[in-house]
Amino acid sequence: MEGLLAGLPGAMPVFLAPAPWEDWSLFGEQIVLGLLTGALYALVALAIVLIYRSTDIINFAQSEMAMFGTFAMWSIWLSGVPLFSNPWMLLVLAGLFGLGMGAVVERVVIRPVEGKPVLTIVVVTLGLFLLLNSVATWIWAQGELPKVFPSPLSVLESIKVGFATIPEHRLLIFAVGAAAMVLLGLLFNYTKLGLAMRATAQNPLAAQLMGINVGNMLTVGWALSGALGGIAGALIAPVVTLHPAFMLPVILYAFSAAVLGGLNSVPGAVVGGFIIGVGENLLATYTPRAIFGPEMSLPLALMLLVVILLVRPTGLLGERTVRKV
């Protein structure tokens, strides 16, 4: 994230930071900043978990779907229609676009390979990755101008909360992320649709016998996941330059977060996202730059991912599944 947020003042420590016991406020600030970034990772991790729970598919094209949606929003913003020049409106539209895209992808690309071997499905989502990445390059990555995505709040200004100085946009990331998670929790726990979706994830056959349209539930799951991804893309876009690979680091941190929390656990994804966010910030601040430093935080997160997979493949909160032979 430090690499992504390089444009922000104060985000990149030039020198080795003083140890926590010498400067507690810096330590606290890093924790808070980490939590704020973690909300973004949690959001994307949630998108991954949502699909994995219901279909046992890991959607490798998640990042590219979000990227594609963000670019589409950027075009809409540039189109100059007064209604769409409002950044808040854009955020909503990003979610809606992701919703539609997720549903279409599930119906058109994923449905035909349902129930096929893992390799087939992995390859199909990777094909989607190549396709979307390339089409975005084709449509949008032609000009050399840095593409700026609008944010409802200021990207450069910060507010002082107690000991921490927090850029306004990061607060927005946290607020929107948390709101999305709360809404999702309400949907799952207090609506009939959520109940049907949980039933489908738990036992598709039994759910079908109870009169639930399983196919529709899978589409809804993919649509929701696409919406989360789209919102995450629109949230991170203002602080990075918009290019076809800008979601790749985010999705990798989110993979780590999802695996850390347990790939089939919704609370796990949230917890994992926050842990990864905080861990990344602390690592970037308190390790000697010659050996690790900010640019190594992605490899280290990925190493953590591999280690978790080896030591505890179900993650912190994931359920152990029994496989029949």
Partner 1 sequence: MEMNIWLFLVLSLGVSGLVRVAPLGSERQRILASLLVLLAFMCWAPFVLDNFRLIQMTRIATLGLALLGLNILTGYNGQVSLGHGAFVLMGAYTVAVLLDRNEQLNLIDATPWPFWATIFVAGFLAAAAGLVIGVPALRLSGPYLAIATLAVMISMPIIVRKYGTFTGGSQGLGFSRPPPPPFLEDLLRREQWLYFLCLLALVVMTFLAWNLLRGQFGRSLQAVRDSEVAAAAMGIHVARVKVLAFVISAFYAGVAGALLALISGIVNPETVDIVQSINYLAGIVIGGLASIMGSLIGAAAIVFIPSDAASELAKLPFLDANMLRRAPGAIQGAVVIVVMLLMPYGVAGAAHRLLRLRPERALARWREAPALARGALQRASWAWDLRPRSAGQGPGQNRPQGEVVSHGEGGKATDPEGDLTKGGQ
Write out the residues near partner 1 by the rule CB under 8 A. 52, 56-58, 60, 109, 112-113, 116, 118-120, 122-124, 126-135, 137-138, 141-142, 248, 252, 255, 259, 293, 295-296, 298-299, 302-303, 305-306, 309-310, 313, 325
At closest approach, how far in Å is the CB of 66 from partner 1?
17
Determine the 3-state secondary structure of 242 from DSSP: coil
Cβ-based nearer residue to partner 1, 198 or 312: 312
Spatial distance between the Cα atoms of 76 and 82, rounded to a whole number of angstroms: 10
The letter for the amino acid at 201 is A
**For residue 165, which phi and psi values (nearest 5 degrees)?**
-105, 115
Cβ-based nearer residue to partner 1, 130 or 210: 130
For residue 6, how many other CB atoms are within 10 A of its CB? 13
- Beta strands (DSSP E) in 24-108 are none
Length of the chain: 325
Cβ-based nearer residue to partner 1, 151 or 314: 314
DSSP letters spanning 245-272: TTTHHHHHHHHHHHHHH-TT-HHHHHHH
Vertex 44: Cα angle to 42 and 48 (nearest 5): 110
At closest approach, how far in Å is the CB of 246 from partner 1?
14
At closest approach, how far in Å is the CB of 6 from partner 1?
15
Cβ-based nearer residue to partner 1, 138 or 163: 138
Cβ-based nearer residue to partner 1, 101 or 252: 252
User: Cα–Cα distances in Å, from 211 out to 51, 54, 55, 103, 216?
Assistant: 21, 17, 19, 21, 12
- Among 308, 153, 179, 298, smallest CA distance to 239 is for 153
At closest approach, how far in Å is the CB of 67 from partner 1?
13
At closest approach, how far in Å is the CB of 109 from partner 1?
6
Cβ-based nearer residue to partner 1, 26 or 305: 305
At closest approach, how far in Å is the CB of 113 from partner 1?
7
Cβ-based nearer residue to partner 1, 151 or 285: 285
CA 160, distance to chain mean position in Å, is 27
At closest approach, how far in Å is the CB of 102 from partner 1?
17
